[in-house]
Amino acid sequence: MDVRFGATVAEFVAYLDDLGLSHLELKREYLHGHPDAPDPETVGEIADEHDVTVTYHAPFRDWNMGSFNDAVREASVDQVKRTIDDAAAADAGAVVVHGGSVPTRYPEWVRETAREHAHRSLAECAQYAQLVGVPLCLENQPVDDEKRRYTTTPDDLEAMLDEVAVAPEYLGVTLDVGHAKVNGYHWRDFVDRFGDRIQVCHLSDNDGSADDHEPLPDYQRVVDAVPADYFAFEMKSVADIARCMGADPESVDSPLAIPTDP
């Protein structure tokens, strides 16, 4: 559920119903930006009504758990913790989180501080997730030419996880198959490494040159092979969700005219 889609949560879930889908992932940015965003309890009620599961995606556009500015780091951690609280209130199954970043052009001492902050932030959030009882799932991120990210490779992702002393069931993995591909890895490389620790899987495609979030009609082979609890198409438009399902976007019944273009 992206803020660009325009629909309310209830309308969007009805659209998913029409497509035969049964999971909703809510981006926190959508909940911040939409004028009719529901409270967590209402999200849970809508999910129950349509028999769909829910995950939340912690905010990342204006937040950075790896910021070398400790005030920004602390505020970012607070945003993740608030997302965990909302997920618990909505009876959601997990919260997806990014591991932070730092501009590569900055001096080494800044980059080292940022890395330490990223690990510290993840530990604080994972401990809170365990306390609340909602798993936190660290996502493999795409490479960025201008930023150093800490979870782009299986080795880096494993290093981040290993430095946090939290039970694996409360600090899991979000496998983004599109991010793996654009970084030059097969998604099976992450399955082989993390196995049942993968609790959430993001589905999209690209040509290997950019993280374009193109439709993935051949998604079933991924679903069959990835031992995740939840799968979400991460698309730039509602029409592309229908295309993933092999449907003509114009032919899908919907309670309203949901914008179909990015």
Do the domain assignments include residue 92? Answer: yes
For the entire predicted model, the pTM comes to 0.94
Residue 116 lies inside a defined structural domain of this protein:
yes
User: pLDDT value at position 256?
Assistant: 45
The total number of structural domains in the chain stands at 1
Residue 22 inside a domain? The answer is no
Q: What is the mean pLDDT of the chain?
A: 93
- Tokens representing residue 223 in the block: 């679903």
C-alpha–C-alpha distance, residues 37 and 43, integer Å: 9
Higher pLDDT, 239 or 142: 142
Task: Say whether 124 sits in a helix, a strand or coil.
Answer: helix
pLDDT score recorded for residue 75: 97
Q: Is residue 253 in some structural domain? A: no
pLDDT at 255: 45
DSSP state of 236: S
First vs last Cα of the chain: how many Å apart?
A: 13
Backbone torsions φ then ψ of 230, nearest 5 degrees: -135, 140
Distances (CA, A) of 170 to 39, 45, 52, 125: 24, 24, 22, 10
Mean pLDDT of 11-24: 94
Contacts of 253 (CB under 8 A, 6+ apart): 18
Does a structural domain hold residue 111? yes
3-state secondary structure of 109: helix
Mean local confidence (pLDDT), 52-61: 96
Domain with 64 in it: what CATH number?
A: 3.20.20.150
Domain region containing 108: 48-232
> CA 137, CA 168: separation in Å to the nearest integer?
10
Q: In the predicted model, is pLDDT for residue 14 greater than 80?
A: yes
Beta-sheet strands, E only, within 3-162:
23-27, 53-57, 95-97, 101-103, 136-139, 147-149
Distance CA 62, CA 161 (A): 23
User: Is 176 within the bounds of a domain?
Assistant: yes
206 located within any domain:
yes
- Domain membership flag for residue 65: yes
Long-range contacts of 41-48 (CB under 8 A, 24+ apart): 41/89, 41/90, 42/9, 43/9, 43/86, 43/90, 43/92, 44/89, 44/90, 44/91, 44/92, 46/9, 46/10, 46/13, 47/13, 47/90, 47/91
Residue 252 has pLDDT above 70, yes or no: no
